[in-house]
Amino acid sequence: MSLLVSGKIERSSGYNLKLDLELPNHGVTAIVGASGSGKTTLLRAIAGLDFTPELSVSLDGISWQDQSVCMPAHLRPVSMVQQHAGLFPHLTVLGNLQFPKRRRDGYALDMEQAIERFSLSSLLHRKPASLSGGEQQRVALARALLAPARLWLLDEPLSSLDVLARRELAPLLASLCQELGQPVLYVTHALHEVLQIADYIVVLEDGRAVAAGNPDEVGRQIDHPISAEIDVGGILACEFDSFDPEHNLSRLNLGSEVLYVRGDLASLGPRIRLQIPARAISIARSDTDQSSMLNRLPVTISEIGEASSGSVLITLDCAGQTLFARITSLSAERLDLRSGLAVFASIKSVALDARND
């Protein structure tokens, strides 16, 4: 069974959302897109906050809304965290945590778990006005997980926080999403924010889903930048090896090959996904040591796409995984590139920094 969302939402302003999605009912589904693509509209529709009969929503075969059914928002077994904490200012932290109603079906953390996991014991008797932004968001997340739910909706929960607060909350949120087993919809405009925890990714553009699938599948479907934050390219699964503090570089293993990425990525765990935009890769017929680029990988050309607007998309096999390079069609001609040819891919920048935007 799964979460089904199909139909349309039309606004008087001319904005339209038209979707036909079947989303997993387990793991973390990331909803990614630029501002105005329809991410928050989708979440609010699923939560029942913005009802329109032209949009059908059902979970595991139970209809929440369609042209003949509208389950009220307070009866839907969802728990939602938005960009801003939305705490009750007149209540203490403990009062906010005790507020969620437990009449709905679904999974919920118990109070002791929530307080411990979000390190709230020293904050319980304080009011929201005395908390930092990161502390407020920790309380909001804990409160959401205390409310019984079969689906958690996270609407850019870290976007309003500064870099230090995101560094603190991101690993905690990632571990919770992975450990608890509940289905999560995580909305963000920054793919790298969820890349390490996403089991399934949907990319929205102008109210339409332009790609959907596991991270590797999405990399194959999107070959152009939707926004400055989303030029998906290839996504490589690597293993963390070690951190070199002198040069501030993490060493990652990709089969027998090595990649170097800025910063200490040890906290991300042994398995790390690297997002590498197609435009961040250049191709050479032979390897050379006379280059400032550390990351050069032997690859084989799997496919060369049709030239468009002076550029061409090249699909590369890299140790059994897929990379994409977008280069000028003139460069492809001068290098005499063709399918089956062994070449070298130089990576100008690895688009992964899990703790800094």
- Burial class from Cβ neighbours inside 10 Å (0-12, 13-18, 19+) for residue 94 reads middle
Q: Which residues of 228-241 are buried (b: 16+ CB within 10 A; e: fewer)?
A: ebbbbbbbbebebe
Q: What is the bridge-based pairing of β-strands 2-10 and 78-81?
A: unpaired
CA distance 73 to 39: 18
Residue 214 sits in the same domain as residue 251 = no
| CB 72 within 8 Å of CB 48 | yes
Mean pLDDT score of the chain: 83
Residue 357 falls within a domain, yes or no? no
| CB 266 within 8 Å of CB 321 | no
Percent of the chain whose pLDDT exceeds 90? 21
pLDDT at position 1: 58
DSSP secondary structure of 191-207: GGGTTTT-SEEEEEETT
Residue 7 falls within a domain, yes or no? yes
By three-state DSSP, how is residue 346 classified? Answer: strand
What is the separation, in whole angstroms, between the first and last Cα of the chain?
Answer: 36
Of 159, 188, 221, the one marking the end of a domain is: 221
Q: Locate tokens 């090595």: which residue? A: 258
Q: What is the mean pLDDT of residues 45-72?
A: 89
Residue 90 sits in the same domain as residue 158 = yes
Q: In the structure, what pLDDT confidence band is assigned to residue 264 with cuts at 50, 70 and 90?
A: confident
- Burial class from Cβ neighbours inside 10 Å (0-12, 13-18, 19+) for residue 349 reads middle
Residue 282 sits in the same domain as residue 315 = yes
Q: What is the pTM of this model?
A: 0.75
| CB 260 within 8 Å of CB 275 | no
Domain range for 335 is: 234-347
CATH of the domain at 127: 3.40.50.300
Cα angle value 112/116/120 (rounded, 5°): 100
Q: Which residues on neighbouring strands pair with residue 205, listed in sequence order? A: 208
Q: Which residues have C-beta within 8 Å of that of residue 131, sequence separation ≥ 6?
A: 93, 123, 139
Residue 352 falls within a domain, yes or no? no
Which of 239, 240, 320, 334 lies closest to 282 in space, CA to CA?
334
Q: How many domains does the structure of the chain reveal? A: 2
Per-residue pLDDT tens over the stretch 7-37: 888 877 767 889 899 998 888 899 988 888 8
Q: Of residues 252 and 195, which shows the higher confidence score? A: 252
CATH of the domain at 288: 2.40.50.100
Position 304, amino acid: I
pLDDT at position 243: 92
Residue 355 falls within a domain, yes or no? no
Q: Which residues have C-beta within 8 Å of that of residue 50, sequence separation ≥ 6?
A: 9, 41, 44
| CB 134 within 8 Å of CB 172 | no
Plot region of 189 (φ>0 → left; ψ -120 to 50 → alpha; else → beta): alpha
Residue 46 falls within a domain, yes or no? yes
CA distance 63 to 170: 33
pLDDT at position 185: 92
Strand ranges (DSSP E) for 277-319? 281-284, 296-304, 311-318
Q: Which residues on neighbouring strands pair with residue 58, listed in sequence order? A: 4, 63
Position 63, amino acid: S
Residue 175 falls within a domain, yes or no? yes
Residue 102 sits in the same domain as residue 165 = yes
pLDDT at position 219: 66
pLDDT at position 222: 61
Q: Of residues 50 and 341, which shows the higher confidence score? A: 341
CA distance 317 to 322: 5
Residue 330 sits in the same domain as residue 299 = yes
